Structure 1
Amino acid sequence: MKNAFLAAGVAALGFVVAPSAQAATFPVGSPNFTATPGPNGTFAGAFFNTGIAAGAFTDTFTFTLPADGFGSGTVTTSANFLGSANDLDFTSVLINGVEAELFTAGGGVFESAYANLIPIVAGQLNTITVTGVSRGNGAYGGQASFVPSAIPEPATWAMMLLGFAMVGAAARYRKRSTNVRYA
């Protein structure tokens, strides 16, 4: 019993002494997150973080867009040697909570994540969240693109449905009022 209390105390001390995870938030327009509007409502963006200290980290990039649509993007990192100070491992990359696919190459020296056609909602705070572990001076960079959807907005749907109802009512009224009589 005494050993169980000792083990619990050591575990609790480990949580107190363990370094806390680093967290940073970068809104669009900050030096770490830029976006450029393009033709037909498209946007292209670039985001990054450098000099990430040793330990776990979570970076969140936030943005809002004027139209509903779809976003796609990639995030990459590379190191000189596996386990070197500039080595960084992705734990996850999420776009609005949707997990990007992670890939490693070179035995873990090169890592990338990508996602395609993630729904983006107009006027809502959208996020790209990158989590991972840095060995002491990690860095990564990413790019994102946005294309507005061709789906009509709710007001457009309402007008279209009202128009169909009016056409249907007019057709029905005409059908009722037409009487053919034979002599």
Structure 2
Amino acid sequence: MSGFIAASSAQAATFPVGSANFKASAGPNGTFAGAFFNTGIAAGEFTDTFTFTLPADGFGSGTVTTSANFLGNANDLDFTSVLINGVAAQLFVAGGGVFESAFQNLIPITAGQLNTITVTGFSRGNGAYGGQASFEPSAIPEPASWALMLAGFAMTGYALRRRRVAFA
């Protein structure tokens, strides 16, 4: 019996929000929270892309992690990169390479545009990872708030102008 290792081709998958691998829920004040994952990733290189569109401009943050019992076993998975809208997340390796995580925050998200989280890596036969993402809309005052703010500035300016300052 001779030893033979076959190189597998790269795998690619796309998961839109609402699919079994990518769930999101709306929260108060226009926030969103999401969870994404992939399991049973066959041996070889992989690229998973998670896609979503949001109704408002704002900022997103996220983390993604993997773990295995032993370095190099079938459940071990290594991240090559994690990108959020093309911005590289910071990769962190612990436990001698058994645990990996990637994280990034304050990624600009544009309303009505297709946004992506792209996870690339290498699986040893039955890899898995999981992640979470959050979104907070930009603080843009409503027209009534702008009017009230401008009226307050005008009153403050008028009061300062009328007030006479005495210098000793």
Question: Could you say which residue in structure 1 is the equivalent of 2:84?
Answer: 95
Contact 2:43 2:124 in 1 (8 A): yes
**Are positions 1:127 and 2:116 aligned together?**
yes
Contact 2:8 2:43 in 1 (8 A): no
Question: Could you say which residue in structure 2 is the equivalent of 1:81?
Answer: 70
> Which entry has the higher C-alpha Rg, 1 or 2?
1
TM-score by length of 1: 0.73
**Are positions 1:112 and 2:101 aligned together?**
yes
**Are positions 1:33 and 2:44 aligned together?**
no
CA distance in 1, matches of 2:32, 2:137: 9
Alpha-carbon RMSD: 1.9
Describe the superposition over 1:72-120 as per-residue Cα deviations: whole angstroms up to 9, x where unpaired. Answer: 0100000010000000000000000000000000000000000000000
Question: Could you say which residue in structure 1 is the equivalent of 2:32?
Answer: 43
Runs of 4+ in 1 over 2 A off after TM superposition: none
TM-aligned CA deviation for residue 150 of structure 1: 1.3
CA distance in 1, matches of 2:116, 2:17: 10
Give the 3-state SS of the residue equivalent to 2:91 in structure 1.
strand
Structure 2: runs of 5+ lacking an equivalent? 1-5, 151-168
TM-aligned CA deviation for residue 44 of structure 1: 0.2
| Structure (1/2) with the larger helix percentage | 1
Question: Could you say which residue in structure 2 is the equivalent of 1:174?
Answer: none
CA distance in 2, matches of 1:40, 1:129: 27
Describe the superposition over 1:48-89 as per-residue Cα deviations: whole angstroms up to 9, x where unpaired. Answer: 000000000000000000000000010000001000000000
- Of all paired residues, the percent bearing the same amino acid is 86
Give the 3-state SS of the residue equivalent to 1:40 in structure 2.
helix
